[in-house]
Structure 1
Amino acid sequence: MVDISNNTLSGGLPASLSSIVGLQILDASLNQFTGPIPESFGRLVSMNKLVLGGNSFTGSIPKSLGECSSLQLLDLSNNQLSGTIPDELCRIEGLDIALNLSRNELTGEIPDKISALNKLSILDLSYNKLEGSLTQLGSLENLVTLNVSNNNFTGFLPDNKLFRQLSAGDLDGNQGLCTHGGDVCFENHTLSASIDEVKRIHKLKLVIALLITMTVAMVLGMVGIIRAKRFGGRKGREDEDSELGGEMSWPWQFTPFQKLNFSVEQVVRSLIDANVIGKGCSGVVYRVNMDNGDVIAVKKLWPNTNSMVTTKEEANSNKVRDSFSAEIRTLGSIRHKNIVRFLGCCWNKSTKLLMYDYMENGSLGGLLHERNGFSLEWDLRYQIILGAAQGLAYLHHDCVPPIVHRDIKANNILIGLDFEAYIADFGLAKLVEDGDFGRSSTTVAGSYGYIAPEYGYMMKITEKSDVYSYGVVVLEVLTGKQPIDPTIPDGLHVVDWVRRRKVSLGVLDPSLHGRPESEIEEMLQALGVALLCVSPTPDERPTMKDVAAMLKEIRTEREEYAKVDVLLKGSSTSVNDNNNGGSSNNGSFSSSSSSKVRLPF
């Protein structure tokens, strides 16, 4: 491993590095290297991670990199590379973690051969000058993160689950790309990549529909009248069932984990588009109003090819094989004030539903970034990060076996009515069985920007991976910036940005400036805790139990100091009333106030 990242090295990157036999990791990111990327790097056939982002490399992407058959992660972002994306990159069969070519000056179309990278999990092509369609990306079935914003792409979107989940920010900045037309923006076998063709086919379908309607109008009218009289109120339920894709036709199984006063039928009939409040990697979330006035959140999981777990024996043997069984085994066994309350689950042959308490204040990410004109006070932010730390500490230290969440991020921390924090979304959770600790993962765990650095080259998950992700969340709370934020210069990650600026007032959210000195000191101490959590080496990160203790100590320190201050004032008053022995008491309290406890950073 050669790691020379985050320095001020300049000039050309030495081609002699290619002579290091067996080199597996080369990280030269965040320097000032210039000139072309050496063609000789193609000889590094054992290399599995090449990170050259955040420099000033010019010229084209070397075709020889296609010879690096073991490469799993390639990051050339934030340079001045030009030309097209070479077809040769698409020959790297092992490229399964990430390909980041963002913030360069690349031109041309996405290579047709990119479909060969069918193991790739993360692809970032944003902020280039690429053009053409995105059709080639439709066959990348294992992609979980994609960003093609700020290019010159045109046409329609591939019709698959990933593209239907993409946020507007991942597609913005492509004037010729259809992104706001609903279903009409997605390609399928009946729609072509031309708006005129879409209109023509639509008109043809309309004519056919009218002819069929006219032919059978009278028959259907008579049948409709008879059915309306015979079945009455059933029509409303049949319409709802139609919108749900016929899911009511299958029998349901229901497993409650709390005392519930509603039925499966009440839940299912509310799963309509108008009630959708969010979408994630594991499913769609609905806000459901019960007949008794209760409001719950229901997650409808994406279809999975794995068979349904129906018995306890099968659940034990499958070992949390998909997101459904993972959440059931995890949420059904835990109880904590900072873990979202799991109400129950129900499923049938085609659908799997998970039910939770509904949080009116949404997620921490929504509070921080989506509410214009709204700013969280420091006391609320402190309460939230402390609650989240205590919830994670419970999962890591009080559950047997321990539970690793694997997807800690601001959007997975829900906020209650009193701004208490609740850890949510266990779609990726893993039980750390004996002998299974820190095992390699076959699926990408976590969300872009929150993933611990060791996962990129070791593909292993431990509790310390959660600690890193939690540290990123705390930095997000303190700075008001997302992990990958467009307002951060040079495309830096928030962790690197804070490290460069040191632990100073300048990194805090501007809305927190002007707070009392005691609160500012608490924020800077919390910032120190966050930097401990995002240490590059997992062993240097504290446990979540220690993190929670350090955060509590911050507030305890402030409260103790306030008590001392009150006693000082009381002592001063006593001196004025009684001059005998007052000076020695006042000196004693002054000595106590000067011994203020500091955290070790």
Structure 2
Amino acid sequence: MSLKGKLEGDIGGLTELRSLDLSFNQDLTGSLSPRLGDLQKLNILILAGCSFSGSIPEQLGNLKELSFLALNSNNFTGRIPPSLGNLSNLYWLDLADNQLTGPLPISSPNSSGLNQLLKAKHFHFNKNKLSGPIPPELFSPEMVLIHILFDGNQFTGTIPSTIGLVRTLEVLRLDRNSLEGRVPSNLNNLTNINELNLAYNKLSGPIPDLRGMVNLDYVDLSNNSFTPSEAPLWFSTLPSLTTLVMEFGSLQGPVPEKLFSFPQIEQVKLRNNAFNETLSMGTSVGPQLQLVDLQNNQISSVTVGSEYKNTLILVGNPVCTTGISNTNFCQLQQQSKKPYSTSLANCGSKSCPAEQKLSPQSCDCAYPYEGTLYFRAPSFRELTNVNIFHSLEMSLWTKLDLTPGSVSLQDPLFNEDDYLQVHLALFPSTGKYFNRSEILRIGFELSNQTYKPPEEFGPYYFIASPYVFQEHKGVSISSGVVAGIAIGCTFLVLGLVVVVVYAIRQKKRAEKAIGMSKPFASWAQSGKDSGGAPQLKGARWFSYDELRKCTNNFSESNEIGSGGYGKVYRGILSDGQVIAIKRAQQGSMQGGLEFKTEIELLSRVHHKNLVGLVGFCFEQGEQMLVYEFMPNGTLRESLSGKSGIHLDWKRRLRIALGSARGLAYLHELANPPIIHRDVKSTNILLDENLAAKVADFGLSKLVSDSSKGHVSTQVKGTLGYLDPEYYMTQQLTEKSDVYSFGVVMLELITAKQPIEKGKYIVREVRMAMDKNDEEHYGMRELMDPAIRNTTALHLIGFGRFLELAMQCVEESAADRPTMSDVVKAIEIILQNDGMNTNSTSASSSATDFGSSKGALRHPYNNDALPKKDVNDSTNNAFDYSGGYTLSAKVEPK
């Protein structure tokens, strides 16, 4: 708002004021008026990013209704007023990035203290000059804190063990202080914590055992004085760990291979330790691993398998002076991907006047609302992860009610405080400027935390740059006269041109209308209805030019996947809708009737757990299907670690429930009912909330009333998921989908593909099951490492879920439940844990197995199983369909 001056005068007279947000006004200076304490009805007070100074008024403790207090990023000095402990309704307390001094106030018989804030979820005191010990009395089991940010202060003494009593804690940053002594062992009880940073202190004793922190994503224990030891192997038991940092420490001995094989690990930073001997990264390097930094150790030789092709830094080790000095490993500047930035690839060389910038979607010049987002505790450190930053872009334009594609993220980096810093530019939906009300609304939502980023980004704050609003300037008479004369002459010339242009356009429109009414005519093989327009419900026809434009001429930067059918592109329509476009390649196209039948089938089903068809294109020799865009890819990618998304057990249950509901709809509520025929983890997609949607109806069969329950058909499906009874009898029923879904349920438990190295997942699970093992049912060794160490308390309904999966994969279809039975069973599992089952959470081409006149062997006999992993596709996300080769003509009812 570009306000200037001081916050003083008779502000206390605004007794009905409930919210005061003056954030991002860097010309607001001076001390805060004590009269702020008179605003008894105030609920929100945000003064972040200004230039206020002096002490925080004691009178703020009178604001008993206050729930949100943000005074961060100013120049406040002095001590934290004990009276803030009177704010019993406060859930957000942010005093970060000031010059505050002294100890943290604790209540006494004569004074209030911060330990009384039992409703507070956020203690953000980082980047001050607070000193003294962290009081043990500050924390208690009654507290509900999720963020404790005390980094960048001058705290001394030991870490209080009472922090371990706050079981709700998700982020603990105590780094950059002068803490000493041992790390309390009961911190291991913080099972919900996902970031722990104790770096740059004087901590001593053994390296703490953190194996109880089963949700830990990021840990940094650097620059302390722990007892010299080998790297503890409990690191490798943390299923969610993405980043391990322990630099300038006392680790010695060989580097364990297991440090590189975590399923989610992205970065291992262990420079300036005393590791020696041979470095071997083993043969099971984690699929997400991007960086290994072992500078300045004593490593004498190295063995790196062909699996690892990313950054390994060994500068300052003996191996770089005696053996491989000319390799990339001994160079600091290695070739690596650039950090993510929003692409402007389709704007070419276009430039804008001063202070204006190019909108990434429209390439129009405009005045963006700019600033910097500071994420104080992100759970990742890999700045090249496109999916994560795409999710942030979509989250911003969706939740801030902006046009899709109007968000630009540039130059992400981790600053000296270890915060993720990202330059943000938001572009107006129309015109070149935002109006004042839009800037006020967006700024307020970013300052009062109404906007919630994707959970991987953690707590944040936003510092905006001043916005220059449009100035309304008058037009002089002389310039008006000149403009009138110019316009008059122009219209004289244009009048002659319009007649010609109009005639040409009318002709083109007529031709286009004919094409739209019979877009299939040129593809028809035979039959009097060959050119009839398909009967669509909720989907529409797209022109080739429209899809070409929204994908930047099908550019590589818009390509998000590929498969046997063709390539998949991300596009944004003119109304802002984000779409996925599947473009058939030559050799995989169908005839007109088959394609028409396909889109009629796809357009008739509408359910929140089915990927929706937006439309199609069938012109200029092209066949394209347009789907709603699923930003988090396939379930298989998440289970394999390729997407960088961590699926805890509850998320897996919700994914199972959502996809089961989608299939139940196809079987029982679609008209006519539909059998999917190719249910698998690559055909279950995840939206921005990790809600599951079933995709790919390219092999589906409509079930007429007369034949429901036994459709005789050529056998199609994917080996590993294929119902053996269907394979041997060629009688297709809904229970064939149930079998395939049971295999997907086993994938959710094990993360294994149905067939790996000649072993079939159903048989492996059946042999391993032991109901006498109440916690893991004998499945611990087969379980996905990402959930293996989840406590029994959090592994809700595991045994019932496993039994349900095994019922689904019974050999006889008659012994399997229906999909609606499966839905009810999973709902009961979630309801028993008190979860709301109505809320959201969080491909290879299919194979044609043909037919045989003789008896068919069971498809999963040992001698029939391939040794190569089934469904081990290197394709990217959004291979929405395995193909459109329907085995028989499908007629809509």
What TM-score bracket applies, with the shorter chain setting the length?
Answer: 0.3 to 0.5
What's the TM-score, normalizing by structure 2? 0.31
TM-score (ref. length: structure 1): 0.46
| Greater C-alpha radius of gyration | 2
Q: Which protein has the bigger helix share?
A: 1
Q: Per residue, is there more strand in 1 or in 2? A: 2
